[in-house]
Amino acid sequence: MASLNLNVQTLQVAGVVTFYMSAALVMVFVNKAVLKNDPDLPLLFLFIQLSIAVILLHVSSMASQRIEIPKFDMSVAKKLTPVILVNVIGLVFNTLCLRDVEASFFQIARGLQLPLTIIVSSFNTHSIPSWKVISAAAIVSFGFFVGVAPSSLVPTASSPSLLSLFYGFLSSLFIAFHAVLIKSSLPHCDNSTIKLAWWQNAGSAVFLLPFVILNGEPGLLRSKILNAQWTGTTFAWGSFVTGIFGFLLCVAGLLSIKVTSPITHMFSSAARSVLQTLLGVWIFHDLLNTNRASSILLILGGTMYYTWVKSTEGKPVPPRKVDDIESMRRGNKEIDDNESEVTVIWEASSSGKDGEK
């Protein structure tokens, strides 16, 4: 019986990891295909994705009682405004970064995500990270600078612009803020990630719409539709597919958090990143040289090392003899805080803020 349970659990983990990796890869490459074909409609493209995700959440709530859509509450909306604003700003810069860099370089462009998350989290908690955590951040940062270092061997067409790298930096910075804000936002949603997902997608769509209009993208879309040479197939199907897979990626992230561990999730993310790089070289003929390969390996290695460090730091150490109940409570709280920090960064990396949404 124990063997049967182990096999079922193994199959569940394998299924969820495969589901997550597949959804994430589809999101990146379909996003890239649409943005490459219609680079002047990034905000409208993102707005359609967010709208489809909201619609699918409502459809899912009608199909399953487990998915509960929150009722609109102005007081809750005000409390969630910071996390919604940070979310939509991060998504915008993430989309602009993906538009302007090669798919295989996307992992490098947002390579400072982990170090920035650690810095923001440390300021928020008024604590100093351990030297192991600092070492992990240093490895990731070194990997980023290896990847973005100018090289005469890289053709001009494959070289990322300073603006695209700035987009990647801002995307990583707002993901870091978002990871911290998730902690304080969940209690306003009854600690339901589904409710928070609805607020974030719906709120982000509302905040984004005025900028879509101000940027003139509806008019650009109208001009494209009137142009007989523009079929619109890539944009229409791309918006539909990424909207669906953005929703599935949200589900996949939730399932991954429920079924797997942070270390398992980070390893699956690492495998996905390697596949993403190889597929980018194959599908879009992206450049992959020694510097970029080394950069990706350093970023992935540092991220996995960080996850391992935080997981080991979060494990309780059996006390020799504890008579003070308050000391035990403080110890348990520190353990919970460590595990919570890993989960928050883990949620940020498995959600749309990892670049897939």
Question: Which pLDDT tens digit goes with each residue over 119-144?
Answer: 988 898 888 889 998 998 999 999 99
Find the Cα–Cα–Cα–Cα dihedral 240, 243, 245, 251, rounded to 10°.
-150
Cβ contacts of residue 32 below 8 Å, gap of 6+?
98, 103, 106, 280, 284
Local confidence band at 258 (pLDDT 50, 70, 90 cut-offs): low
Residue whose structure tokens are 């009137």: 226
Query: Can you tell me the mean pLDDT for 341-349?
Result: 48
Cα(301)–Cα(289) distance, rounded to whole angstroms?
18
Q: Does the pLDDT of residue 8 top 90, yes or no? A: no
Cα(262)–Cα(22) distance, rounded to whole angstroms?
18
Residue whose structure tokens are 């940070």: 86
Better pLDDT: 182 or 314? 182
**What pLDDT was estimated at residue 245?**
86
* Average predicted confidence (pLDDT) for the chain: 80
Task: Return the closest-CA partner of residue 300 out of 267, 252, 276.
Answer: 267
* Residue 36, both tokens: 């490459």
- Judged by average pLDDT, the poorest of 165-169, 231-235, 270-274 is 270-274
Alpha helix (H) residue ranges in 126-284: 131-148, 162-185, 193-214, 217-226, 233-259, 262-283
Burial 338-349 (b: 16+ CB within 10 A, else e): bbebbbbbbbbb
Distance of CA 230 to the CA centre of its chain: 32
Residue ranges per domain, the chain?
Answer: 42-151+159-313
Local confidence band at 257 (pLDDT 50, 70, 90 cut-offs): low
In degrees and rounded to multiples of 5, residue 106 shows phi and psi of: -60, -40
Other CB atoms within 10 Å distance of the CB of residue 5: 9
